[in-house]
A and B are shown apart, each in its own frame.
Chain A
Amino acid sequence: GENVEQHPSTLSVQEGDSAVIKCTYSDSASNYFPWYKQELGKGPQLIIDIRSNVGEKKDQRIAVTLNKTAKHFSLHITETQPEDSAVYFCAATPNTGNQFYFGTGTSLTVIP
C-alpha cells in the first residue's frame, strides 16, 4: 500500500518568516494530496489540497507544490502568524481503494 513520510516532525519559526513542510509518497497511483491543520483538542481541518494534474496551488498565505516525478509534495506558509501554530498533516490517496494515507504530522510553533 501507500507509504507517506513527513518531515520535519517539529518546526519553530519566527513570526513573519516562512515555514515549509515536506511529504513523500510511494504509490504512483496516488492522485489527491490534502493538507490538514489540527489545533489542540480539535479535529483536523482541511486547509488546502492538490490533485496530480496540477503542480502548484495557492490560497492566500498557504501554497502546496507537487512533484509527481519525485513523488513529493510540500506545504508552504508565508508570513507566519502565531495562530498558524498547530500540527499539520499531509495525506495521499490513490485513485483505487478507499483509504487516505496520512503522514506522521509536523508540530509548527510560530514564535511572536
Chain B
Amino acid sequence: SQTIHQWPATLVQPVGSPLSLECTVEGTSNPNLYWYRQAAGRGLQLLFYSVGIGQISSEVPQNLSASRPQDRQFILSSKKLLLSDSGFYLCAWSRDPNEKLFFGSGTQLSVL
C-alpha cells in the first residue's frame, strides 16, 4: 500500500531564517506531488505541483520554492522566511491529476 510521510510535524522559525520541509511517498512510482498551504481557519491554497523529477509548476508567486530531486521526494524551501509564511503546510500525492489525492499529516509552521 502507498503511504506519504511529511516532516517535521511542527516548526517554529525566526523571521529571515531558511526553511526546508520534506515529503516522501512510498509504494508507488512517478506520483504527481503537491504542496498546499492552509492559513488558520481557511481553505487549501496550492503552492506547487510536480509531475516528474525536476518538473515544478508554481501556482502562486511567493517567498517559497520547491524541488523534486527524486521520484518520490518533494521538498519545500525558503531562503528567508517572512511572518506571512506561517501556516499549515500539506504535501499530497496522486497517481494522476484525475485520480484520488492523498494528503500527508501536515507541518504547522510558525514564523516569529
Contacts and interface: CB of A to CB of B under 8 A. Distances in A.
B57 A98 contact: yes
Interface in B23-65: 32, 34, 42-44, 46, 49, 51, 57, 59
B86 interface: no
A98 B100 contact: no
A86 to B, nearest CB: 13
Interface residues of B, number: 25
B104 interface: yes
A26 B47 CA distance: 22
Given A34-B100, A46-B100, A49-B100, A98 B32 contact: yes
25 contacts: A32-B98, A34-B100, A36-B103, A41-B108, A42-B105, A42-B106, A43-B6, A43-B90, A43-B92, A43-B105, A44-B44, A46-B102, A89-B44, A91-B101, A93-B97, A97-B97, A98-B51, A99-B46, A99-B49, A99-B97, A100-B34, A100-B46, A100-B101, A105-B42, A105-B43
Interface of A: 31-32, 34, 36, 41-46, 49, 89, 91, 93-95, 97-100, 102-105
